[in-house]
Structure 1
Amino acid sequence: MSNKEKMRTTGYYKEPGPKLNEESPFKSMMERFQFAAEILELDEGMFQYLANPVKQITVSIPVVMDSGDIQVFEGYRVIHDNVLGPSKGGIRFAPDVNIEEVKALASWMTWKCAIANVPFGGAKGGVRCDPKKLSTSELERLTRRYTANMLEVFGPDRDIPAPDMNTDEQIMAWIMDTYSMNAHKTETAVVTGKPIILGGSHGRKEATGRGVVTVTLAALNKLGLAPNKCRTVVQGFGNVGSVSAKLMYEQGAKVIGISDITGGYYNKNGIDIIDAIEFAKNNGNSLEGYPEADKITNEELLQLDCDVLIPAAKEDQISPRNADKINARVIVEGANGPVTANADAILEGNDIMVVPDILANAGGVTVSYFEWVQDRQGYFWTEERVNRRLNRMMRAAFDNLFNVKEEHNITLRQAAYVFGINKVATTLRMRGIYA
């Protein structure tokens, strides 16, 4: 009996991971992980090692509030893997964050770093709080105490945090300062996503959107489509969506649809993205009332007839309920998990190429790596150099996955998991298990 048959018989592939709802991003990730594990014929021990984090930390964070009262928050850090190098991943502040969510996000970072050929492992962190209800001084005290609790975890050679949901460069600056004070030296490389003046990198804020467009152009090239002949739809107009829309517009693409939390905006003749960005900037970062396009729902936006669809908003936007109504040649996942696992086969059956999130939005971690390298060197690059190197690495990553796709006759998403898991597993075999 082969390893594959043995694991199917024992149900081994169903063991790791939390039991979440049917369309959870973690469940989607695990289904894709299992598919790749079967192709690679991972033995049971290797599967278990790669499916579970190497370290999980939960801490209590007491904070003296402005009122003088003490409030205790819960914080997390999960290191999924550090075989390829120091672990890397963002920290999110949110009222509903929990350890299972952080575990899922940490595992995604492992595969994302492997695919991007960045020498990092995967990690993620979180603090259960509502930052909108905290004053700036309370937020600073929370951040510094969380960092103090993680002093044995964080480190430029161990684990390197970055911004994520509801965290920004100011919070990264507080983490860097707290760590440095305890290390008795300035250690800028302990975090990325910092302000430029504290060792941040040029091009970091635009990196994810720029990476999305780089792989979009690579995908269009494989399909023989010129960007200036393509109609593009972008869901989401935050940092990733607006940058992606702007760069596609600058490539000559006709951007016929955009959206934000207020709904979708459609103009069959194309939207002037520079004008739309300026409108949103002057309208409280909202597209509400944008006069140069017709208002439609986000559901209608996803179903527009187009060549390129970039979902850059939330997870689970394309599922079996609407996958058959998608009218795009290419879907490029700017967001994490915008397509559920049970929608993949529908899209494949309709001959829609999907560039998966763990490749498409890896521009952020790639430039975070650049920031770490610059901090370690003490020498900083121009934005033009950052962008040039980002484009080269993203294009190389796409080509690697496309070659795996052709070799195994599978989708790009399946190829991404096969490539990423194989790289980590091969490295682990070479290093061996310390005993």
Structure 2
Amino acid sequence: MLARFNKAADMLRLSQEERHRLSRPAKQILLNFSITLDNGSEKNFEGYRVIHSTVLGPSKGGIRYDTEVNIDEVKALAAWMTWKSALVGIPFGGAKGGINCDPSKLSRTELEKLTRAYTQALADTFGPHKDVPAPDLGTGPDEMGWLMDEFSLLHGKIIHAVVTGKHLYAGGSLGRVEATGRGVSIITLLALDKLKKRSTTTTVAIQGFGNVGLHTALFLWEQGVKVVAVSDVSAALFNADGIDIPDLIAYAGRNDRSIYGYYHAYPILHNELLTLPVDVLIPAARENVITAANAAAIKAGIIVEAANGPTSADADKILREKQIFVVPDILANAGGVIVSYFEWLQNVKNETWNILEVNSKLEEILEKSFREVYATARNSNDSLRDAAYLLAVKRVASAQQAPDN
């Protein structure tokens, strides 16, 4: 990601001082705290919160619970949030947080204690107009509800806008759960339209069938797109005639959220999915799955990055030489942060929007952002990724140079 920032900085002719101010986090917080486990023993945890930028508004970014969480990962993800928010015109900066833990080995009671302890440690950092967290890997509406409740208790009043991704009854927004997947599907359809391809004759392979991959697959299926391959950690499936996505979702719901053993598709190797002869490849799992080692074998004409950082920097050049139309992550998966902004705005204004309003506003922002990125790429003869970073970095740099900053 730093290489992509530096390229944008070169194009903008930013000074070394400007580069340092834009690339380095404004604040890094390392936490060390303990909770009492269900068996009565004490367990220590290490947590992080990185505020990358507040130039455009309150910092915004998720909290992840995972055994691989570390300060370098959190710093990179916080910067991603800065550029993503700037690109789609949302008045937020970037942040990220996490706790190094295995949430699958903690009880619900222990997860609540963990979340409340983390919130207590960051009570002076969080705030509706300071730093607004959200769910991420290993967290969800329950954790965000506990965070809101603990923050509210510490401040003596209910403060819904301190966090997004909450349950509806706790001040959440309609459309938030499926927002990232819906956004990916919107961007995919915009890319198909721009390249004059009919959605009803398009084939798609989706790596990842978690929240983002599942909803992306569902919304594309509803638009008549033929989803021929999907995968999760347990299995990769292929059906040349298209997979019945609602049926697969129902199957996974009965099978502990796993697609393993689904009988209306053939099992394939996980790596095979990335190189299938499809029109669109959507990596919706983890980072660095498209690298210099496999980029040359990719046959899809379009890649829509639903995951954060699925394409390594050294693979970018290969994909460009192959003239593959790559929609970068900071545009493709921005639906989540956009609807997070809608939730925050509804909380701040004490409003409730209906689902049609949420979805129409989401589509409007994504269409405008896609047009801007595409036009910039065409004008500068650059990739969509270079254009996206150029626009995002320019907006933050311009705001940072303003007199009040």
Pair in the same fold by TM > 0.5: yes
Residue 333 (structure 1) aligned with residue 305 (structure 2): yes
Counterpart position of 2:190:
218
Q: CA deviation at 1:223?
A: 0.6
Counterpart position of 1:283:
255
Question: Following the alignment from structure 1 to structure 2, what is the Cα–Cα distance between the partners of residues 405 and 125?
Answer: 32
2:336 is aligned with what amino acid? Answer: G
Counterpart position of 2:381:
409
Counterpart position of 2:34:
62
Q: CA deviation at 1:98?
A: 1.1
Structure 2 unaligned residues grouped into runs of 5+: none
- One of 179, 197, 204 as aligned partner of 2:169: 197
Residue 76 (structure 1) aligned with residue 52 (structure 2): no
Question: Following the alignment from structure 2 to structure 1, what is the Cα–Cα distance between the partners of residues 25 and 256?
Answer: 40
Question: Following the alignment from structure 1 to structure 2, what is the Cα–Cα distance between the partners of residues 365 and 255?
Answer: 26
Q: CA deviation at 1:432?
A: 5.2
Residues 39-75 of structure 1: CA deviation (Å, up to 9, x unaligned): 1111011000111000011122121222322222111
Counterpart position of 2:366:
394
SS at match of 1:217: helix
Residue 383 (structure 1) aligned with residue 332 (structure 2): no
* TM-score (normalizing by structure 1): 0.92
SS at match of 1:151: coil
Counterpart position of 1:23:
none
Matches within 5 A, 1:302-317: 302-317=274-289
- One of 274, 284, 291 as aligned partner of 2:246: 274
Matches within 5 A, 1:45-194: 45-194=17-166
Residue 264 (structure 1) aligned with residue 244 (structure 2): no
Matches within 5 A, 1:242-253: 242-253=214-225
Question: Following the alignment from structure 1 to structure 2, what is the Cα–Cα distance between the partners of residues 350 and 139?
Answer: 46
1:348 is aligned with what amino acid? Answer: R
SS at match of 1:299: helix
Residues 255-306 of structure 1: CA deviation (Å, up to 9, x unaligned): 1111111232111111111111111111111111111111101211111111
Matches within 5 A, 1:367-378: 367-378=339-350
- Structure 1 residue runs of 4 or more that deviate by more than 4 Å after TM superposition: none
2:208 is aligned with what amino acid? Answer: G
Residues 354-391 of structure 1: CA deviation (Å, up to 9, x unaligned): 00001100100000000000001111011121111111
Question: Following the alignment from structure 2 to structure 1, what is the Cα–Cα distance between the partners of residues 261 and 210?
Answer: 17
Deviates more, 1:190-199 or 1:122-131: 122-131
Counterpart position of 2:292:
320
SS at match of 2:401: helix
- One of 397, 402, 405 as aligned partner of 1:430: 402
Q: How many residues align?
A: 405
Question: Following the alignment from structure 1 to structure 2, what is the Cα–Cα distance between the partners of residues 425 and 170?
Answer: 36
Residues 134-179 of structure 1: CA deviation (Å, up to 9, x unaligned): 2222211111111011011000000000001111101101110111
RMSD: 1.0
2:319 is aligned with what amino acid? Answer: L
SS at match of 1:430: coil
Question: Following the alignment from structure 2 to structure 1, what is the Cα–Cα distance between the partners of residues 267 and 77?
Answer: 34
Question: Following the alignment from structure 1 to structure 2, what is the Cα–Cα distance between the partners of residues 270 and 173?
Answer: 39
Question: Following the alignment from structure 1 to structure 2, what is the Cα–Cα distance between the partners of residues 64 and 53?
Answer: 33
Work out the percentage of aligned pairs sharing the same amino acid: 49
2:44 is aligned with what amino acid? Answer: V
Question: Following the alignment from structure 1 to structure 2, what is the Cα–Cα distance between the partners of residues 247 and 178?
Answer: 36
Q: CA deviation at 1:413?
A: 0.4
Q: CA deviation at 1:232?
A: 1.0
Q: CA deviation at 1:226?
A: 1.3
Question: Following the alignment from structure 1 to structure 2, what is the Cα–Cα distance between the partners of residues 213 and 258?
Answer: 15
1:214 is aligned with what amino acid? Answer: I
SS at match of 1:397: helix
